[in-house]
Amino acid sequence: MHNRYTLLNRSAEPLLDVAARRGVSRGQCSAVWQRHLLAKGLDAYKRYAYQDAPPTLVERTRTLATICQEYGVPLAAAALQFSLSNSHRTSTVVDVSKPERIAATLELACILVPNELWQRLDAVGFDANDPEEHRFT
């Protein structure tokens, strides 16, 4: 479910639901930070699914980051834990470019994310379309 089950995109959700109903082994989530957009923020990275991030997605990301700030939770932690908390997935894959980032990733996984924050992030909305649908057009 690369790029397809994140804070910004949930196009894999119907597949996860069908798999759960049928008792099929569930999938693995990857690109939970939408490459670097949800980990490094808009100032460092404005690309989404290998393309320039569309304006609506940039604004949604800003809103998510602002809400996370209100709770003292890094957006990267919320993005990672969104995937980790889904009972339909079997694993979450994150990429790290340096060994020291492994410890940083584990720290993000341990930050307490209040239930109220999840509700507010969900209220912002998300895409349900394939994030790479126009990648090669």
Q: Per residue, what are the HEC states of the chain?
A: CECCCCCCECCCHHHHHHHHHHCCCCCEEECCCCCCHHHHCCCCCCEECCEECCHHHHHHHHHHHHHHHHCCCCHHHHHHHHHHCCCCCCEEECCCCCCHHHHHHHHHHHCCCCHHHHHHHHHHCCECCCCCCCCCC
As its CATH architecture, domain 13-124 has Alpha-Beta Barrel (3.20)
**Domain boundaries of the chain, sorted by first residue:** 13-124
Per-residue pLDDT of the chain (137 residues; tens, 9 = 90+): 666 778 888 888 888 788 878 887 666 665 666 666 777 777 766 777 777 888 888 899 999 999 999 999 999 999 888 888 766 666 777 777 788 888 988 999 999 999 999 999 999 989 878 766 666 66
Q: pLDDT by residue (tens digit) across 103-120?
A: 988 999 999 999 999 999
Give the pTM. Answer: 0.82
